[in-house]
């Protein structure tokens, strides 16, 4: 059978207009499309919402043959399929849940497909590799390409099978796409997918309309309620577990706003209903686990809040990136506690040994972000390899510079007391020893006889909690299985006077009393 003739476009601008109806490319799109059309393999790092799909879909309609798109999630593939088909692009998915596989294979062999979406595990299947030789491939597009790297935050072993599959077609160019990859991960992706170094294209990561704010979590319900009160538009609150999602959604919905939960444990129908209600709404709040957000096209989200620390800076950037895609002002607020870091560091023990160093680096980077007294945006952008101005004027630290106190002396007293009491007790007990409270438990254990008993002055006492939090974030203090605190990280250097502890003093009054307009 003769393949259907495909329209011939004079140039990319004409195709862009004819297929997508867009008047112009955005950011680095044109650069990426040009490389692909010149059959040059490319890794494009573009933030969420920058328009990654277009960079392979457009070449796919212009080039002879089929673009094979590797995508990690079936739901995501089906979203993409719907959108592509709506634009008149000849596309299909080949997944375990599709019932029209025979037809799709036939269309591929006949050259009747511009796009063929597949999951990475297909790459290892012999009959799939054979199928690829029966048609004509124009391009390999690898979505969420950070999944190929153990340095990335979402490693998927199946992605390692793509290289051998693509190597069987040395003339077919490769386009790897990701929103989230630090420098290390990028280099690894290039190597793992066989893309030359000069094929790296990174688009600007700045989202200037998003205001970042990061605060200690002292009364989450009150803090979140204040956020809702100040921002009447649609918003997302991320919580770490299903139970917390349910609880928070329940508590917050008493405030008069429509607040719905979303997590993987809900019935598929409930989830779909909540999601479409959110997309259509102008004031709804979705309390969700990170299962929510991928593939959702809602440009007017006015705030994204994290009720606890996200997994990494990459995850934070991706999740907060769902705010303000329409370019209007939006806020990203994170509430964190020492516990978040204690738990993350505890989980390190379960990580495979060769991945542990990478994980630890990720936690340290996140600790820097929450602890910094300097511009949050500058830190974020530097993390993604950019060289931004030192201040942005649109993050909490730029709007109201936090005070910095030298906490080294008190930190040494704190660490010393923890050490001398045997690294067994929680902060409450240590505080009693340090401030000299002749508590029954303290006396029984003879801890009133220690040199650290009562050495913290009333002036210093308020620093103990923030210091413990900062030390836990940086890893100098770790929680033991029994809920006690123990020394870790660079605690010994601090004790010996070789390392300092700067303490960020969070402006005293929450939220509304900050400068007007601040979240």
Please, which of residues 187-226 interact with ligand ADP by CB under 6 A?
A: none
Q: How many Å apart are CA 452 and CA 457, to the nearest integer?
A: 11
Q: How many Å apart are CA 214 and CA 502, to the nearest integer?
A: 17
Determine contact, residues 323/330, Cβ cutoff 8 Å: yes
169 contact choice in Zn ion, ligand ADP, none (CB below 5 to 8 Å, kind-dependent):
none
Specify the 3-state DSSP secondary structure of 177: strand
Residue given tokens 């680095």 in the structure block = 28
Structure tokens at 185: 């991960």
344 contact choice in Zn ion, ligand ADP, none (CB below 5 to 8 Å, kind-dependent):
none
Structure tokens at 135: 């048609």
CB atoms within 10 A of CB 483: 11
Of 54 and 366, CB closest to ligand ADP: 54
Residues 419, 424, 425, CA angle at the centre, nearest 5°?
95
312 contact choice in Zn ion, ligand ADP, none (CB below 5 to 8 Å, kind-dependent):
none
Residue 184 Cβ, how far from Zn ion at the closest point, in Å? 24
Specify the 3-state DSSP secondary structure of 500: coil
Residue 80 Cβ, how far from ligand ADP at the closest point, in Å? 8
Residue 11 Cβ, how far from ligand ADP at the closest point, in Å? 15
Residue 356 Cβ, how far from ligand ADP at the closest point, in Å? 31
Of 29 and 66, CB closest to ligand ADP: 29
Taking alpha carbons only, the member of 295, 233, 239 closest to residue 262 is: 239
Residue 13 Cβ, how far from Zn ion at the closest point, in Å? 37
Give yes or no for residue 82 binding ligand ADP (CB under 6 A): no
Q: How far is CA 343 from CA 352, 478, 480, in A?
A: 17, 9, 10
From the DSSP assignment, how many helices (H) and strands (E) are in the chain? Answer: 21, 17
Site size with ligand ADP, rule: CB under 6 A: 13
Q: How many Å apart are CA 205 and CA 386, to the nearest integer?
A: 8
Residues 6+ apart with CB under 8 A from 14: none
Of 23 and 458, CB closest to ligand ADP: 23
Give yes or no for residue 50 binding ligand ADP (CB under 6 A): yes
Residue 352 Cβ, how far from ligand ADP at the closest point, in Å? 30
Residues 301, 306, 311, CA angle at the centre, nearest 5°?
115
Give yes or no for residue 362 binding ligand ADP (CB under 6 A): no
375 contact choice in ligand ADP, Zn ion, none (CB below 5 to 8 Å, kind-dependent):
Zn ion
Q: How many Å apart are CA 321 and CA 207, to the nearest integer?
A: 8
Of 127 and 515, CB closest to Zn ion: 515
Give yes or no for residue 52 binding ligand ADP (CB under 6 A): yes
Give yes or no for residue 46 binding ligand ADP (CB under 6 A): yes
Q: How many residues does the chain have?
A: 519
392 contact choice in ligand ADP, Zn ion, none (CB below 5 to 8 Å, kind-dependent):
Zn ion
Instruction: Write phi, then psi, for 102 (nearest 5 degrees).
Output: -55, -45
Give me the 143-172 binding string for ligand ADP, x by CB under 6 A, dash otherwise.
------------------------------
Please, which of residues 6-35 interact with ligand ADP by CB under 6 A?
A: 22, 25-26, 29
Which position among 15, 43, 54, 142 is part of the footprint of ligand ADP (CB under 6 A)?
54
Structure tokens at 368: 């820097």
Residues 6+ apart with CB under 8 A from 491: 415, 471, 476, 477
State the residues that interact with Zn ion by CB under 5 A.
375, 377, 392, 395, 398
Of 185 and 397, CB closest to Zn ion: 397
160 contact choice in Zn ion, ligand ADP, none (CB below 5 to 8 Å, kind-dependent):
none
Determine contact, residues 153/313, Cβ cutoff 8 Å: no
53 contact choice in Zn ion, ligand ADP, none (CB below 5 to 8 Å, kind-dependent):
ligand ADP
Which position among 31, 40, 48, 251 is part of the footprint of ligand ADP (CB under 6 A)?
48
Of 143 and 431, CB closest to ligand ADP: 143
Which position among 130, 171, 282, 297 is part of the footprint of ligand ADP (CB under 6 A)?
297
- Strand ranges inside 26-104, DSSP E: 42-45, 66-70, 91-94
Structure tokens at 198: 């000069």
Please give the residue ranges that form the binding site for ligand ADP (CB under 6 A). 22, 25-26, 29, 46, 48-54, 297
């Amino acid at each position: 059978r003769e393949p259907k003739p495909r329209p011939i476009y004079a140039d990319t601008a004409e195709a862009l207009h004819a297929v997508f109806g867009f008047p112009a490319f955005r950011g680095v799109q044109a650069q990426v499309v040009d490389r692909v059309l010149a059959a040059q393999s490319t890794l494009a790092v573009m933030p969420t919402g920058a328009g990654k799909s277009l960079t392979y879909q457009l070449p796919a309609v212009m080039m002879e043959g089929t673009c094979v798109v590797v995508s990690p999630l079936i739901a995501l593939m089906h979203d993409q399929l719907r959108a592509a088909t709506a634009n008149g692009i000849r596309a299909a998915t080949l997944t375990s849940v599709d019932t029209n596989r025979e037809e799709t294979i036939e269309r591929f062999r006949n050259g009747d497909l511009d796009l063929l979406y597949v999951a990475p595990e297909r790459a290892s299947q012999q009959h799939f590799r054979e199928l690829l030789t029966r048609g004509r491939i124009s391009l390999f597009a690898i979505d969420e390409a950070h999944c190929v790297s153990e340095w990335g935050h979402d490693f998927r072993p199946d992605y390692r099978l793509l290289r051998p599959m693509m190597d069987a077609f040395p003339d077919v160019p490769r386009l790897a796409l990701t929103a989230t990859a630090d420098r290390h991960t990028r280099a690894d992706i290039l190597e793992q997918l066989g893309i030359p170094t000069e094929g790296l294209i990174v688009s600007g990561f700045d989202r200037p309309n998003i205001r970042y704010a990061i605060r200690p979590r002292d009364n989450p319900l009150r803090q979140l309620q204040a956020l809702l009160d100040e921002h009447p538009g649609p918003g997302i609150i991320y919580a770490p577990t299903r139970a917390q999602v349910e609880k928070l959604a329940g508590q917050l919905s008493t405030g008069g706003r429509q607040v719905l939960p979303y997590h993987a444990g809900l019935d598929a129908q409930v989830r779909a209903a909540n999601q479409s209600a959110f997309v259509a709404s102008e004031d709804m709040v979705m309390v969700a686990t990170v299962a929510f957000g991928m593939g959702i096209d809602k440009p007017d989200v006015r705030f994204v809040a994290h009720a606890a620390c996200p997994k990494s800076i990459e995850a934070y950037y991706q999740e907060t990136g769902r705010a303000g895609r329409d370019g209007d002002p939006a806020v990203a607020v994170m509430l964190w506690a020492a516990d978040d870091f204690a738990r993350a560091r505890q989980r390190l023990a379960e990580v495979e040994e060769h991945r542990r160093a990478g994980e630890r680096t990720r936690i340290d980077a996140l600790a820097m972000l929450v602890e910094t007294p300097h511009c949050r945006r500058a830190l974020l952008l530097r993390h993604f390899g950019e060289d931004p101005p030192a201040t942005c004027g649109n993050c909490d630290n730029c709007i109201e510079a936090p005070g910095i106190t030298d906490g080294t002396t008190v930190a040494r007293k704190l660490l010393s007391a923890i050490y001398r009491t045997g690294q067994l007790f929680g902060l409450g007990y240590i505080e009693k020893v340090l401030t000299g409270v002749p508590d029954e438990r303290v006396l029984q254990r003879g801890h009133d006889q220690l040199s650290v008993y009562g050495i913290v002055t009333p002036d210093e006492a308020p620093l103990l909690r923030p210091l413990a939090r900062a030390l836990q974030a940086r890893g100098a203090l770790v929680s033991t299985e029994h809920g006690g605190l123990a020394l870790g990280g660079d605690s010994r250097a601090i004790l010996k006077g070789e390392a300092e502890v700067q303490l960020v003093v969070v402006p005293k009054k929450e939220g509304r009393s900050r400068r007007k307009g601040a979240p």
